[in-house]
């Protein structure tokens, strides 16, 4: 399926396709197509694909790094080039821009979690809990980059951030294992929400204290 989708993207975009890459966030993968130029006809044809890629022009990629440093840091770290030039590996990420977006994302996710809790119950509450890890993985990657820390894999990422920022991320490790089918939710769902709120609050306070030096 992946090879078939890759071939169709090449056929649709043709010579305007500069780079086709696949990147990973947590346990999910996304295709990214970078084009020299892009018109609406290309976008229309891409709708027929079973796996829809993110589509950028080369200029949008270069200009977007300052606006979305969290996302592009994750792409740079976890991508595999399937076709064309690897323009993603040399993207420069500003730590000051990254710190600002991290602060925004953490506040937004905390508000979203509180609202989701108030509106959810039963299976919906469980879905809210399980969705926490994929959305937080890029943020944890940003935290690691800010302090020039190193990690081996997603599971190790939790330990590195815990030690580097003095915040207990055990709840995220538990949820990560549940999503991979290696464990089940063992505590009351209300307790998971309480612990997730504590994690987001703690990380947010830590980010507020960071003084960035490029």
Q: With contact defined as beta carbons under 8 Å apart, do 82 and 22 qualify? A: yes
Burial class (CB in 10 A: 0-12, 13-18, 19+), 142: buried
Residues 6+ apart with CB under 8 A from 97: 66, 67, 69
How would you write the pLDDT of the chain (214 residues) with one tens digit per residue? 568 888 999 999 999 999 999 998 766 788 999 999 999 999 999 998 988 999 999 999 988 999 999 999 999 988 999 999 898 888 899 999 999 999 999 999 999 999 999 998 778 999 999 999 988 989 999 999 999 999 988 889 999 999 999 999 999 999 999 998 888 988 899 999 999 999 999 999 999 888 877 6
Q: With contact defined as beta carbons under 8 Å apart, do 31 and 61 qualify? A: no
User: What does pTM read for this prediction?
Assistant: 0.84
Residue in the block written with tokens 């606006």: 67
Q: With contact defined as beta carbons under 8 Å apart, do 52 and 109 qualify? A: no
């Amino acid at each position: 399926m992946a090879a078939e989708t890759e071939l169709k993207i090449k056929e649709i975009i043709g010579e305007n396709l500069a780079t086709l890459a696949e990147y990973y966030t947590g346990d999910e993968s996304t295709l990214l197509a970078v084009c020299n130029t892009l018109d609406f006809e290309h976008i229309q044809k891409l709708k027929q694909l079973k796996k829809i890629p993110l589509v950028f022009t080369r200029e949008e990629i270069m200009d977007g790094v300052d606006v979305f440093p969290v996302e592009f840091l994750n792409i740079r770290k976890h991508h595999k080039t399937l076709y064309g030039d690897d323009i993603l590996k040399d993207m420069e990420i500003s730590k000051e821009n990254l710190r600002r977006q991290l602060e925004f994302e953490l506040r937004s996710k905390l508000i979203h979690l509180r609202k989701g809790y108030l509106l959810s119950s039963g299976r919906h509450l469980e879905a809210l809990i399980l969705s926490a890890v994929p959305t937080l993985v890029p943020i944890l990657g940003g935290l690691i980059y800010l302090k020039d820390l190193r990690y081996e894999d997603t599971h190790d990422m939790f330990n590195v951030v815990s030690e580097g920022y003095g915040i207990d991320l055990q709840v995220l490790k538990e949820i990560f294992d549940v999503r991979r089918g290696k464990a089940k939710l063992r505590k009351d769902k209300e307790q998971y929400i309480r612990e997730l709120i504590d994690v987001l609050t703690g990380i947010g306070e830590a980010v507020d204290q960071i003084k960035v030096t490029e």
